[in-house]
Structure 1
């Protein structure tokens, strides 16, 4: 936080609320505008109420809510109270949510009536006391969230910075919490890391910035972009359900400058009719940022042709560290995810932990300064992911001679057929561009002689019939773009592939049935 007389240089939710109380912090999906003072007041009330319940520094709360200022207020209540806040994926079942409530040691649960059934099951199964259950709307056995801190005023006593407690997606088993040590910092002070992170993308405090959030706030990066935007004086426009034309309308309506996106959204935007795409003024865009899932190069190129060089890509981990590449750089280094962030280290190591030279693929390891983390209650997983002070997400890639990172695939997704390494992402990136393919997943299935063979599972485009004729057409298309050893040996069809709303494909759900009773070499 600065002490300049210019209030527009004073950052942080509570400081901005004091200096510019009527400034818009959040625009809810229904168009309701919430000022900085209103958001701060609600965060203060919730924080007071949690203190009255007996929650102390280091305790945790769980939030199961759709995108709204209510979720954001619960976040800031925890952040100023020294609490860990766990944002839960609302696609999970009540049983799965109960595990997170129990594993995190949560002492309060903020739910929304939209997820009433799952919330009640989770709270009951986790044995959460009735006094710790709060709801927006009507949830049986939950207290109205408006009761928290009611009758009081001002900030809570003993303010100290809390932290998100982030849970991995759980695609390879039960999710694991990433729990960082609390900093003990003053929550009025915007962390240097926040302004530094936005600086990577050229996003300065205020500067007439407007952030558009089109993905669920239970995702780490999505949440970070919204709360940092608010802390830096940027209005955050929230969408409840993402729709391509609605996104264009909101960009034009609110003069949106930046957003955090995924390649699935790019493809749906590109599928809009030309007259729809041309009907909205997108001249306000400054930096449309994407990560979380690989982007087919042709999709990226078409977005750059449409929006210009405002499309920026990054590769990062909840655990810390990453790379970034601007639109201009990507055109020079197509397919790359960029150079390491300032302070971040990226190395490529072989199976023995030896560093590999440029151009040689291996496991991607990273670190961010002196940042540390641990997987909550899972020391074995923590140690497995580390090599010295570096850690890996299991991705395979290489650095070129200029230090740019190129990713092949996750190590667990790599196919080994006849001793040859095959990267499914390369095959997916080609076939997804066929006009009759809406989505695709490629993975290895058992083969008695070769170890594995290539299987593709395709979601046909709307109105396209699956079957032998489509299979023949797709394989013929692939032959002109891929080496023979990379061609799928068979194609199955599904109405919809299992992806989360942030674009991440749950490939294990597709692959595991083929491997039942057998063990993969990877």
Structure 2
């Protein structure tokens, strides 16, 4: 089936009572969702917020959040979702200032205004809805579509704001592709990780625009994941690698087979992915990108032919492996750079996006990501991680520098730690890599961001503090 264009407003017109979003007891239909989105858009205009302005929000993912997201897309605003804890941290003021936020929209304006010192006014989404309801719909000139912008996850330091490009055309929805298992005739998408991140929020927002309901799982457990998938006959979901490990370890698939399981945001050990395919079926879609743009995608079938790959570049994107400004041939590791489509570039920005990751392309253009780039030591650490990640029973790994490199390894079989430790030592020795100190943990024990990535900076800080303690 060829892709076709669809939007929530088309779903609302065809079936206004169709479930749109459910987050526990908070639910709304497509008719209610789009009516609220339009009221929010008119409320922003009534308040005098200029076209194209950036809004920030800490409204939890659910009906009110998705209404605001659709209002931004259809009425021409940028939306910068910021986790409540991050907003209240020392980075919150800097992030909203760097993103040039004109207005912060929240579900509790009194508490937010009292507890934060943001460089912008604060308002409640309900007050915008009331202002919009008092302003009757009126035809006007079509405005360019809005967009969502994100912050980096902050695994290696402080999170950074990542501005995005505003589309040139009015909002028209999304191109619905059959392989993503979303659309007016499909079951819901289960948002198992309720965080603000391109990797977790992107598939949910796509499914909603395509005509599928979104079920938000705010409290994670593999048992609740399976229960929600069965209760709602879910068609698609997104699982970050740490959640994929939990589902594989629990060993129970939904009774109604999932049609698409997206995963990305961090490297997935091949052993974990094979176990996930065996449990859930050949329905995994892996993607790779940054907070600015998705760059590659790979299906289960392609991955089984090239285990460890994250796929080929999406149409219009050209991937280049770079070392000191020189493009490298197939098989040579270097920094992953992407020549972006014009639609993904800032007005005067360079067309080349430096990802900060190390990887290589094979002869057919399939990308393999090794780890984070940096100085020579950082790239050696990335190679260490790549080697260890490929071993059986490894569910995640991070190498950080201390007095010497320390290899933090999560495993599904902590009772077999001596066997795994020997296997790690043999794999490292066979590749002439430096021998790190190896620390083993059960799966899920290391500190993580809201999007499921290991907090490298926290581990490095802990190691530095330990090295300063008297023995």
Range of TM-score over shorter length: 0.7 to 0.9
SS at match of 2:327: coil
What's the TM-score, normalizing by structure 2? 0.85
Q: 1:147 to 1:167 in 2, by over 3 A?
A: same
Q: CA deviation at 1:84?
A: 1.2
1:433 match: 393
Over 3 Å counting, the alpha-carbon distance change for 1:127 and 1:299 in structure 2 is: closer
1:213 aligns with 2:173: no
Q: How does 1:379-394 map to 2 (within 5 A)?
A: 389-394=351-356
Q: 1:126 aligns with which of 98, 109, 118?
A: 118
- Verify: 1:339 aligned to 2:322, yes or no: no
1:81 and 2:68 are equivalent in the alignment: no
1:14 aligns with 2:4: no
Helix, strand or coil at the partner of 2:11: helix
Contact persistence 1:304–1:311 (CA under 8 A) = yes
Alpha-carbon offset, residue 248 of structure 1: 1.1
Residue number in structure 2 paired with 1:366:
338
List gaps (5 residues or longer) in structure 1. 1-8, 137-143, 447-452
SS at match of 1:57: coil
Q: Where do 5+ consecutive residues of structure 2 fail to align?
A: none
User: Which residue number in structure 2 is paired with residue 281 of structure 1?
Assistant: 255
Deviations 1:353-388 (A, max 9, x none): 22211111111111333234349xxx9xx7xxx6xx
Preserved CA contact (<8 Å) 1:61 1:107: yes
- SS of the aligned residue for 2:153 comes to coil
Determine if contact 2:79/2:149 at 8 Å carries over to the other structure: yes
TM-score normalised to the size of structure 1?
0.78
**1:268-347 equivalence runs, <5 A:** 268-272=246-250, 274=251, 277=252, 280-283=254-257, 285-347=258-320
Residue by residue, what CA displacement relative to the aligned partner does 1:312-364 show, whole Å, maximum 9, x if unpaired? 2111233335121111111111111112222221111221x222111111111
Larger mean Cα displacement after TM superposition, 96-105 or 251-260: 96-105
Deviates more, 1:38-47 or 1:317-326: 317-326
Paired position in structure 2 for 1:396: 358
Is 1:180 the counterpart of 2:142? The answer is no
Using the TM superposition, give the Cα deviation of residue 91 of structure 1 relative to its aligned residue in structure 2, in angstroms: 3.1
Shift of 1:87: 0.4
In the alignment, what sits opposite 1:479?
425
Does the 8 A contact of 1:80 with 1:159 survive in 2? no
Equivalent residue of 1:304, what SS? Answer: helix
Aligned CA distance change for structure 1 residues 324 and 111 (closer, same or farther; 3 Å): same
Change (3 A) 1:229 1:414: farther
Distance 1:455 1:104, change over 3 A: same
**2:182 and 2:189 in contact (8 A); partners too:** no
Whole-Å Cα distance in 2 between the matches of residues 409 and 243 of structure 1?
A: 28
Q: Note if contact 1:347-1:364 (Cα within 8 Å) is conserved in structure 2.
A: yes
Note closer, same or farther for the CA distance 1:442–1:427 as it changes in structure 2 (3 Å cut).
farther
Tell me the distance in 2 between the aligned counterparts of 1:22 and 1:200: 24
Give the root-mean-square deviation of aligned CA atoms: 3.5
Which residue of structure 2 aligns with residue 5 of structure 1? Answer: none
Say whether the 8 Å CA contact 1:22–1:37 is kept in structure 2: yes
**Equivalent residue number for residue 132 of structure 2:** 149
CA positional deviation for 1:201:
4.0
Return the offset for 1:178: 3.0
Describe the shift of the 1:422–1:97 C-alpha distance in structure 2 as closer, same or farther (beyond 3 A): closer
Query: What CA distance in whole angstroms lies between the structure 2 residues aligned with 1:416 and 1:102?
Result: 31
- 1:10 and 1:310, CA in 2 relative to 1: closer, same or farther beyond 3 A? closer
Deviation by residue 1:376-427 (Cα, 9 ceiling, x = unmatched): xxx9xx7xxx6xx32221111111122211111111387469xx67624225
Distance 1:230 1:202, change over 3 A: closer
Give the distance between the partners of 1:305 and 1:77, measured in 2 at CA.
Answer: 40
Cα distance in 2 for residues equivalent to 1:305 and 1:320: 30
Is the 1:314–1:337 Cα contact (8 Å) retained in structure 2?
yes
